[in-house]
């Protein structure tokens, strides 16, 4: 662990390395500065894929642990992609260096350091167990290494829980395997099961038995829906699967009755604006040429739907949680509204009522 911490510290010293960007004519130009009162508030980060958080400097470090030398030029070239297809290829490439349990622990510690820098005090890491199984890895050994690596951060003010994630296009049998591993690990830190991937690949109904099993095991239920799919995917997730939170969910804007239902039932939408822009989801929902300024975040907040702000794959999409707050502030979301969004992050967390209350009482 000492070696891992030393390597992580070295990586942090290069935290302000050149960060390649996608063509930024589609981002907000000269946004107003985020109020210091918002930046200083303790925050929760609920939609964060651990494997999507491999910064370029960490990519080099992970590759070196595997005996592979990657030049700075090479990793920066790969992290500068022209479209979503190139992003997927980069994702496959960089995650291929997560080969041993120690690699996962090394990465988890680095991401925790990054979260602390942004005043994040609680996070739920989404872990791609479906990908681990595809690569023939042992999820329990990987998870135990991550638990050990993240435990020291508790004393520094960051609590970490976990979501075991399946890949939709791999099918219900593979998803059931992920549920089985979550149960086998028998850790109270595994708070939920989710499904990501291509929401249009298989019908929601195919996963009903999977989510029944999740409920039997006492885990919370969530799923990506309404990212590129329509509002019907969100409705199915809630009514067929019992989803308590929806990953993305921006497709809800096309159905007034669905938005009413989400508000009434308290179903939280985990909104990741920059991700929606980078993946093309925003264009699907808003039309060709959609820019960040046309994101429906303000509309959803003002509709009274529980909404939290997150980063999805922050390193891969070149964003941070503070930048996401900066962007929605530039969209016209008021300081008072942002404080409600921050509070919602704790209210929607998979924690006990007492734990939520303790976070909501924390001073800035």
> Each residue of 277-297: pLDDT tens digit?
988 899 999 999 899 999 999
Which pLDDT does position 250 carry in this prediction? 98
3-state secondary structure of 197: coil
DSSP single-letter state for residue 283: H
Catalytic residue among 45, 51, 113, 227: 227
Confidence bin at 3 (pLDDT 50/70/90): very low
Residue 264 appears among annotated catalytic residues: no
Q: What is the pTM of this model?
A: 0.90
- Alpha carbons 265 and 195: distance in angstroms, whole number: 21
Contacts with 153 (C-beta within 8 Å, 6 or more apart), sequence order: 109, 112, 116, 160
Q: How many residues does the chain have?
A: 364
Q: Identify the CATH number of the domain defined by range 2-6+36-350.
A: 3.20.20.140
Q: Tell me: pLDDT of 25 over 70.
A: no
Confidence bin at 8 (pLDDT 50/70/90): very low
Q: In the structure encoding, which two tokens stand for residue 23, read together?
A: 């063509």
């Amino acid at each position: 662990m000492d070696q891992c911490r030393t390597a992580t510290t070295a990586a942090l010293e290069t935290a302000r390395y050149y960060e390649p960007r996608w063509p930024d004519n589609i981002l907000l130009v000269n946004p107003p500065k985020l109020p210091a009162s918002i930046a200083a508030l303790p925050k929760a980060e609920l939609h964060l894929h651990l494997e999507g958080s491999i910064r370029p400097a960490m990519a080099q470090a992970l590759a070196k642990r595997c005996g592979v030398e990657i030049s700075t030029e090479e990793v920066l070239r790969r992290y500068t992609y022209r479209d979503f297809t190139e992003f997927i290829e980069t994702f496959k490439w960089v995650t291929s260096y997560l080969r041993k349990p120690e690699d996962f622990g090394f990465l988890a510690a680095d991401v925790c350091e990054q979260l602390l820098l942004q005043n994040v005090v609680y996070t739920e890491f989404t872990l791609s167990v479906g990908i681990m199984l595809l690569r023939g890895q042992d999820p329990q050994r990987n998870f135990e290494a991550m638990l050990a690596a993240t435990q020291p951060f508790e004393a520094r003010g960051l609590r970490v829980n976990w979501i075991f994630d399946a890949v939709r296009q791999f099918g219900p049998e593979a998803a059931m395997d992920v549920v089985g591993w979550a149960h086998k690990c028998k850790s109270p830190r595994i708070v939920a099961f989710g499904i990501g991937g291509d929401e249009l690949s298989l019908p929601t109904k195919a996963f009903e038995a999977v989510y029944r099993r999740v409920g039997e095991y006492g885990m919370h239920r969530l799923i990506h829906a309404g990212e590129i799919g329509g509002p019907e995917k969100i409705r199915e997730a809630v009514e067929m699967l019992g989803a308590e939170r929806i990953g993305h969910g921006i497709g809800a804007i096309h159905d007034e009755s669905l938005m009413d239902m989400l508000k009434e039932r308290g179903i939280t939408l985990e909104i990741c604006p920059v991700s929606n822009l980078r993946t093309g989801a925003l264009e699907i929902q808003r039309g060709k040429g959609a820019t960040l300024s046309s994101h429906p975040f303000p509309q959803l907040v003002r509709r009274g739907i529980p909404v939290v702000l997150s980063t999805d794959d922050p390193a891969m999409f070149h964003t941070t949680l503070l930048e996401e707050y900066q962007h929605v502030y530039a969209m016209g979301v008021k300081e008072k509204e942002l404080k409600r969004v921050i509070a919602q992050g704790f209210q929607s967390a998979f924690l006990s009522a007492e734990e939520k209350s303790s976070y909501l009482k924390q001073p800035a």
